[in-house]
């Protein structure tokens, strides 16, 4: 196993102590509080089914001692006994069904709410979280981990309550039948408690490791599917297969360790104890039989109650592995819900509205890791309607400026203003609705052309969608599609060319009619012919809007009102295209390089 992954996994295991597991369990139970009526009804059904179960051996005991042994079978008594027996069985079957149904209903409701909370939290997390956490791991928490919790509620919670009711009721009946032997049966309880405690201690480690490795498997699988083109182009299939097999083998090993500890400490150990208990009972009754102080019916009933005493414990112990998996999984889900790497908070001024779209950066310094500054004292102004272009080599800080302006990351030094108001104090809805962002790689959602342009805006009309598509010349390829604007778009719009996806992103941006445009290499993936078509649209888009544009192709921003040249996080040159060419600096060299 990769030692780094192993050390990480072990660290996570040690964090999940017995107290942590108990806290996780309490938190899960709190999710059941809104369903108190369902719980009360389930408990009622459980009580009735338990009473029906413990009544059965007693009815048989009455038949053996009062009728079978003396060989007396009054018709009226027999009829009444048979009717009572069948009524008890029917009631037991019906209440058991409703008990199981209600607990499963409760389980699905709890998991439904848990998934809603987790998914809501994902929408609140900042980009820092997604920079560190693999997408496959996040998916695993909302699918595999929550599914394990369902199994806990269905397989453990309900069975534990049923076992508790059955053990108590069986023990009460044993006391009624024979007080001394019932006390002797208590000797086995501490032994069972010790076995279950040992199991909890060691199984928690293995289950946590197995669950983490399952998350790693999902992450590796998601990464491989996402990057399959690159994998095949660079002939990396064998390397990926080797890495996947390593994680898969580790996952298998830890699962086998859980199987071994299950096989040793669960049913075999509890079954051995129950065998000794039955031997003790039969020996005791065998001794009493010499004095004639015991009946066959009592022996039968006591053995039945002893089995009902140990079998629920056996069933609970069998489900302890499910409980351990569920607690580990729940702790991972709660870590996601409790994660404090939130998107930057807004200290909102509700009365503020963006009117002109003037942008000001004042001495902004920023670091992703808190150690190395990727932006250093960035200051510039983009007046309403102006286009400010950001150019520079890879890693110079262009995208970081956009990330801060879009509030993807929080910054501590300097100020960013829109219409002379701090960007931190502008209401989130006001900010997002007035900024249109077009990225280099346009993300297209599953749905239709209309839904992708509209993005489910509640008041946007279909005419507005058409108008936006025509504005950026996207209608030329849309009208050729089957179904046109209702054409089905598959995941990520992979059936479209990169240029067509970008045109849809342009249409989506224009449809929202923002006052500020952010173009992050918006024409980088568009062929020359398509680029020529949309350059005119870009000019129309920029009219009356303040625009920040990142560009590697200098030909696309030569008409910008101001060009900022960045190098190692600093603005080293600024001016118009002609002014920068005359300066004979970095921009001039980049221009010459691109023009051969």
| Of residues 426, 395, 446, the one with CA closest to residue 550 | 395
Q: Which residues pair with 422 in a beta bridge?
A: 417
CA distances from 161 to 42, 96, 438, 451 (A): 10, 12, 56, 48
Which helix (H) or strand (E) segment holds residue 567: the answer is strand 562-567
3-class state of residue 448 by DSSP: strand
Q: Higher model confidence: residue 365 or residue 195?
A: 365
**Per-residue pLDDT, 264:** 66
pTM here is: 0.69
C-alpha neighbours within 13 Å on the C-beta side of residue 458: 0
pLDDT range class, residue 4, cuts 50, 70, 90: very low
DSSP 234: T
- Summarised one tens digit per residue, pLDDT across range 406-427 is 898 999 899 999 999 999 999 8
Residue pointed to by tokens 């351990």: 324
pLDDT at 3 exceeding the cut of 50: no
What are the DSSP calls for 192-209, one per residue? HHHHHHHHHHHHHHHHHH
**Per-residue pLDDT, 292:** 59
**Per-residue pLDDT, 59:** 85
| Greatest CA separation for the chain | 121
| Of residues 269, 280, 281, the one with CA closest to residue 317 | 269
3-class state of residue 479 by DSSP: coil
pLDDT at 530 exceeding the cut of 80: no
**Per-residue pLDDT, 565:** 93
**Per-residue pLDDT, 575:** 92
CB 203 within 8 A of CB 258: yes
**Per-residue pLDDT, 293:** 60
CA torsion sign, 157 to 159 to 160 to 162? Answer: positive
- Summarised one tens digit per residue, pLDDT across range 266-321 is 667 777 777 777 777 777 777 766 665 667 777 777 777 777 777 777 777 667 66
pLDDT at 7 exceeding the cut of 50: no
Q: pLDDT > 70: what percent of the chain? A: 88
Q: Higher model confidence: residue 112 or residue 1?
A: 112
**CA–CA dist 140, 211 (Å, integer):** 10
Q: What is the mean pLDDT of the chain?
A: 81
Mean per-residue pLDDT, 31-36: 89
**Per-residue pLDDT, 525:** 60
Mean per-residue pLDDT, 31-44: 89
Q: Which residues pair with 342 in a beta bridge?
A: 125
Q: Cα 255 vs. chain centroid, distance in angstroms?
A: 22
Which helix (H) or strand (E) segment holds residue 374: the answer is strand 373-382
Region of poorest pLDDT, from 30-44, 66-80, 325-339, 512-526: 512-526
pLDDT at 244 exceeding the cut of 80: yes
| Of residues 426, 422, 375, the one with CA closest to residue 396 | 375
Residue pointed to by tokens 């279950």: 196
pLDDT range class, residue 437, cuts 50, 70, 90: confident
Name, of 17-21, 37-41, 172-176, the range with top average pLDDT: 37-41
Which helix (H) or strand (E) segment holds residue 390: the answer is strand 387-392
pLDDT at 12 exceeding the cut of 50: no
**Per-residue pLDDT, 534:** 65
Q: Where are the alpha helices (DSSP H) in 290-354?
A: 296-318, 320-338
pLDDT range class, residue 227, cuts 50, 70, 90: confident
pLDDT range class, residue 259, cuts 50, 70, 90: confident
**CA–CA dist 483, 488 (Å, integer):** 8
CA torsion sign, 59 to 60 to 62 to 66? Answer: positive
Mean per-residue pLDDT, 401-405: 91
**Per-residue pLDDT, 14:** 41
DSSP 346: P
**Per-residue pLDDT, 485:** 84
CB 284 within 8 A of CB 160: no
CB 174 within 8 A of CB 306: yes
Mean per-residue pLDDT, 7-19: 51
Name, of 174-188, 316-330, 504-518, the range with top average pLDDT: 504-518
Region of poorest pLDDT, from 185-189, 361-365, 525-529: 525-529
CB 346 within 8 A of CB 427: yes
**Per-residue pLDDT, 574:** 92
**CA–CA dist 51, 45 (Å, integer):** 10
Q: Where are the alpha helices (DSSP H) in 178-187?
A: 179-185
Q: pLDDT > 90: what percent of the chain? A: 13
Which helix (H) or strand (E) segment holds residue 520: the answer is strand 516-520
Token digits for 479? Answer: 């009208």
- Summarised one tens digit per residue, pLDDT across range 458-496 is 788 888 888 888 888 788 888 888 888 888 887 767 677
What residues contact residue 379 under an 8 Å CB cut-off, 6+ apart? Answer: 361, 362, 363, 364, 414, 571
pLDDT at 234 exceeding the cut of 80: no
**Per-residue pLDDT, 271:** 72
**Per-residue pLDDT, 5:** 42
Residue pointed to by tokens 């009309």: 461
């Amino acid at each position: 196993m990769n030692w780094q992954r192993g050390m990480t996994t072990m660290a996570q295991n040690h964090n999940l102590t017995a107290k942590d597991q108990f806290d996780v369990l309490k938190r899960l139970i709190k999710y059941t509080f809104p369903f108190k009526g369902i719980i009360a009804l389930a408990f009622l059904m459980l009580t009735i089914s338990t009473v029906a179960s413990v009544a059965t051996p007693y009815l048989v005991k009455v038949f053996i001692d009062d009728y079978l042994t003396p060989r007396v079978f009054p018709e009226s008594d027999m009829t009444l006994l048979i009717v009572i027996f069948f009524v008890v069985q029917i009631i037991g079957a019906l209440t058991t069904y409703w008990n199981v149904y209600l607990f499963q209903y409760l389980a699905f409701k709890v998991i439904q709410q848990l998934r809603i909370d987790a998914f809501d939290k994902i929408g609140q997390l900042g980009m820092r979280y997604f920079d560190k956490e693999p997408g496959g791991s996040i998916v695993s928490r909302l699918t595999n981990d929550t599914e394990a919790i369902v199994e806990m509620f269905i397989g453990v919670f309900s069975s534990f309550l049923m076992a508790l009711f059955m053990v108590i009721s069986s023990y009460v009946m044993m006391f009624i039948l024979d007080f001394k032997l019932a006390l002797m049966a208590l000797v086995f309880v501490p032994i069972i408690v010790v076995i279950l405690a040992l199991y909890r201690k060691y199984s928690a480690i293995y289950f946590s490791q197995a669950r983490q490795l399952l998350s790693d498997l999902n992450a590796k699988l998601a990464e491989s599917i996402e990057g399959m083109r690159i994998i095949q182009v660079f002939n990396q299939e064998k390397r990926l297969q080797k890495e996947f097999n390593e994680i898969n083998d580790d996952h298998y090993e830890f699962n086998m360790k859980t199987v071994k500890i299950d096989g040793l400490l669960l049913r075999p150990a509890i079954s051995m104890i129950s065998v000794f208990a039955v031997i003790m009972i039969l020996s005791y009754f065998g001794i009493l039989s010499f004095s004639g102080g015991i009946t066959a019916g009592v022996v039968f009933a006591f053995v039945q109650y002893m089995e009902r005493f140990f079998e629920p414990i056996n069933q609970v112990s069998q489900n302890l592995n499910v409980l351990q998996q569920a607690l580990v999984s729940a702790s991972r889900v709660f870590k996601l819900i409790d994660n404090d790497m939130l998107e930057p908070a807004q200290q909102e001024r509700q009365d503020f509205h963006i009117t002109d779209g003037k942008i000001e950066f004042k001495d902004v310094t920023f670091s992703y890791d808190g150690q190395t500054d990727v932006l250093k004292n960035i200051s510039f102004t983009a007046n309403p309607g102006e286009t400010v272009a950001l150019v520079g080599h890879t890693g110079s800080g262009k995208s970081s400026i956009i990330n801060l302006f879009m509030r993807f990351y929080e910054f501590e030094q300097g100020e960013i203003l829109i219409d002379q108001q701090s960007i931190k104090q502008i209401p989130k809805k006001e900010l997002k609705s007035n900024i249109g962002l077009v990225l280099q790689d346009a993300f297209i959602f599953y749905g239709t052309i209309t839904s992708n342009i509209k993005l489910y805006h509640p008041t946007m009309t279909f005419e507005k969608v058409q108008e936006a598509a025509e504005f950026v010349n996207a209608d030329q390829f849309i009208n050729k599609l089957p179904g046109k604007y209702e054409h089905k778009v598959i995941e990520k719009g992979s059936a479209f060319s990169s240029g067509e996806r970008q045109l849809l992103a342009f249409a989506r941006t224009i449809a929202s009619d923002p006052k500020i445009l952010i173009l992050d290499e918006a024409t980088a993936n568009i062929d020359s012919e398509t680029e020529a078509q949309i350059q005119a649209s870009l000019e129309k888009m920029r009219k009356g809007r303040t625009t920040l544009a990142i560009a590697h192709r200098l030909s696309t921003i030569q008409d910008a009102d101001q060009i900022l040249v960045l190098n190692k996080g600093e603005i080293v040159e600024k001016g118009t295209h002609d002014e920068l060419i005359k300066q004979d600096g970095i921009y001039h060299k980049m221009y010459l390089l691109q023009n051969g």
